[in-house]
Structure 1
Amino acid sequence: MFSINIGNARIQGLEADLNMTGQDYSIALFTFFILYILLEVPCNILLKNTRPSLFLSVIMTGWGIVTICQGLTKSFAGLIVCRIIIGGLEAGFFPACVYLLSMYYCRHELQWRFNLFFSASIIAGAFSGLLAYAIAHMDGVAGYGGWRWIFILEGIATVVIAIGSYWFIPDWPETAKFLSDDERALLIQRLAEDRKDTHMNTWNAKTAKRIFSDVKIYLGVLMYMGIVTTSYAGSFFTPTILKQLGWTSIRAQIMSIPIFIFATVCALVSAIASDKLKHRSGFIIGGCCFSTIGYVILLNMMSVSVGVRYFALFCIVGGGYIAQPIVLVWLSNNMSGHYKVGVASAMQVGLGNVGGIIASNMFITSEAPTYPLGFGLGLGLVWLCVLSSLTFLFYIRRENRLREEGKRDDRYNLPDDEKNNLGDDHPSFRFTF
């Protein structure tokens, strides 16, 4: 809920109580991403050498506590400090979940499992709107405004859940206590067969060079940057946009609920189909095209009815949440080895979240209610995702063909320590589309 609750807090009086003016709200959104981007890769490298159950429960507890503080702050400066700290703590969460799940499931089993997890964040958009509507009635309780109670109550809930999660989050398959020895051996065997027994479990200078020079990762970053802007913009600004359709703050909260429920259904249905068909790229492009319809409508919003504008938000958010989780899994599917998957996932989410910075600043208050810059940038970035996806598809198709023709077989002649640490650069590995 943490990318959504500030949007709900905004229309419940956040800006007025903290004397925020102009682009202060956008600055508050932007500062979250400073440490979030910088700490993604270090966090996943640290995760490789620790227990996921401990690592994830600790950082979740931390950002829950700081979220409570966000509801207690008396100034804009205090809000900024809280946002920066929350960004640093959340940096270790999302790519870690991608990394951890990819260590348990074969490539064409992963999308459905990942989207079940990912859908919790989408449905939070609906639940957050409903919760914010209920909390709005607490305005004045204990002398706190309704927006403060949004942060305080959601922060308390997070701390409670985080502490309890320590006993439920699985560790790496090699040490997971819920697996018997036979189950562990079977799981490791299935994963090895799925990725052609390719590894990257040793960190050294050659490992780092292979990872940081891999063009696939940077294409994955561009894909994610393009589509995550739509997701963040939907979370940050949907309540505000709905309010500017002429609805009250409370009605705007309620009317945001169906949008995120619809997006959840889109994400789950596309995940089932993507795994069953063993196909990723077409769903990404399809989701982007769906979002395009919404952006085009809103760029011409003054010539359409309120109902059509509302429909456009379904297109934008629904299409974004079809494409975003598949973008993440598609890159992970085409990486192999502990370090390669971990660092690639972190780089994609970390560098790709430059899109979050863009989303924080593309809806300029003075342009309300039409926001031509915001909707125009959103549309352009969706098509950055499309073009990057097509380039990625072309690249891995070509690489598979070269491997079938034996033009990467020279790597079999490398020294054993390097040959056994190639990850997806190994000639036997095949990329999935």
Structure 2
Amino acid sequence: MILKKVAPSTWLSLIMVLWGIATVGQGLIKSVEGLVAMRVLIGFFEAGLFPGCIYLISMYYKRFELQWRLTLFFSASLLAGAFSGLLAYALAHMDGVGGYRGWRWIFIIEGLATVAIGLVAKFWVVDWPETAKFLSEPERAMLAARLHADVGEAAMNRLDKPALKRIFRDWKIYIAVPMYFGVVNTGYSASFFMPTIIRELGYTAEAAQVRTIPVLIVATCVALVNALATDRLRHRYSFCILGLLVASVGYIVLLNQHGLSKGVKYFALFLIVPGNSITHSVVLTWVQNSMAGHYKRSVSAAMTVGFGNMGGIVASNIFLDSERPRYPTGYGVSLGLLWVCGASCTILFFGVRRENKKRDRGERDWRLEGDDVDNLGDDHPSFRFTT
């Protein structure tokens, strides 16, 4: 909601600079308490970036143009993951420079880079379509007309008491949280078990990091192809389930890894990570497609990503050292959470399909008689949900 009041270019760049400063602080602290404080600040500032970017992007594109754009954004995190380990490994070789240990230099240099990018982002990041300086008035009018043709009268530009009730009574927001929770767990988990599996092939830690790169590049390519398909077909649910099925096969392989060759276990990564990337990116888009209006989209993005990211807390506690390298608890819980996502996607699919049919029959037209007809968001009878 702050993002609605503050220019996105200002807010997003500001929080980047602040978490960059906190990251530098991690490299300079002298106590455990200081480290914990810096980690809390990083989490606090960084929490607004991902949902903020999703919200901003969703306000520029029609619903079936959105998947490709959000997947491009999502793919940047995959590619960053592909090379961040190598960067950290290289920076660790600065051990002793300036009297600092290598791990401190990792935080200091990456933090300074974040601050620099955050400052530049002030001039790169666009603002809302209504105020964006790069748009001429005819272009602004054309964009507004395109978006209006997509969602009709489904607007929510006032955050009054009726709007708050509509937002927090919407079951779709609450089903979106387990959708994201279930799939984001694997996103975090992969960072734990990928290097372990690859090191089993006999490679050093550095070589293992290099061999995670093909997995993440394949995941990026698969996610982008999937984005084109789901936008072209104007459908989300089946693609979510497809990704879950592919990733599940990979987990089943790892849960039954006794007697399997190391190559087969490595191949399982090419199922889990790309499969998860399909569902992960589609879930984010589908949730935004199911909301209409500035405030509705902002709250849904924040709640979905904010609460859903607790899947990362689960991921960090289920890969037990006592169970390495097989990790039955880690793989089993991650597989189960994938299908928490699957069940939630199924509920959303049948729920919005049922609602669309009710609107087709005119069973929601009574809402047009209220005083807030211009601020109904996706409760407007003319709005149809993406399935």
Q: What TM-score, normalized to structure 2?
A: 0.96
Verify: 1:348 aligned to 2:304, yes or no: yes
Verify: 1:282 aligned to 2:238, yes or no: yes
Structure 2 distance, partners of 1:344, 1:287, is: 23
Q: 1:241 to 1:85 in 2, by over 3 A?
A: farther
Deviation of the 1:150 alpha carbon: 2.4
Structure 2 distance, partners of 1:54, 1:388, is: 35
Verify: 1:291 aligned to 2:247, yes or no: yes
Verify: 1:424 aligned to 2:354, yes or no: no
Verify: 1:326 aligned to 2:282, yes or no: yes
Structure 2 distance, partners of 1:97, 1:173, is: 14
Structure 1's unaligned 5+ residue stretches are 1-44
- Structural RMSD (CA): 1.5
Task: Check conservation: 1:220, 1:348, Cα contact below 8 A.
Answer: yes
Q: How much identity, in percent, do the aligned residues show? A: 56
**How many residues matched?**
387
Task: Check conservation: 2:200, 2:262, Cα contact below 8 A.
Answer: no
Verify: 1:223 aligned to 2:174, yes or no: no
Aligned-partner residue type, residue 340 of structure 1? K
Aligned-partner residue type, residue 220 of structure 2? T
Task: Check conservation: 1:129, 1:257, Cα contact below 8 A.
Answer: no
Task: Check conservation: 1:298, 1:312, Cα contact below 8 A.
Answer: yes
* Stretch of structure 1 that moved more, 235-244 or 274-283: 235-244
Q: What is the match of residue 194 of structure 2?
A: 238
Within a 5 Å distance, the mapping from 1:13-412 to structure 2 comes to: 45-412=1-368
Structure 1 distance, partners of 2:336, 2:250, is: 13
Deviation of the 1:75 alpha carbon: 4.1
Deviation of the 1:244 alpha carbon: 4.9
Structure 2 distance, partners of 1:281, 1:183, is: 33
Structure 2 distance, partners of 1:242, 1:75, is: 34
Task: Check conservation: 1:130, 1:257, Cα contact below 8 A.
Answer: no
User: Which secondary structure does the structure 1 equivalent of 2:149 belong to?
Assistant: helix
Task: Check conservation: 1:68, 1:152, Cα contact below 8 A.
Answer: yes
Q: 1:282 to 1:290 in 2, by over 3 A?
A: same
Deviation of the 1:136 alpha carbon: 3.9
Structure 2 distance, partners of 1:432, 1:384, is: 21
Task: Check conservation: 2:290, 2:386, Cα contact below 8 A.
Answer: yes
Task: Check conservation: 1:285, 1:386, Cα contact below 8 A.
Answer: yes
User: Which secondary structure does the structure 2 equivalent of 1:290 belong to?
Assistant: helix
Structure 1 distance, partners of 2:354, 2:141, is: 34
Task: Check conservation: 1:133, 1:254, Cα contact below 8 A.
Answer: no
Q: What is the match of residue 29 of structure 1?
A: none
Q: 1:376 to 1:245 in 2, by over 3 A?
A: farther
* Stretch of structure 1 that moved more, 241-250 or 341-350: 241-250
Task: Check conservation: 2:197, 2:265, Cα contact below 8 A.
Answer: no
Deviation of the 1:431 alpha carbon: 0.6
Q: 1:155 to 1:239 in 2, by over 3 A?
A: farther
Structure 1 distance, partners of 2:108, 2:217, is: 25
Task: Check conservation: 2:153, 2:380, Cα contact below 8 A.
Answer: no
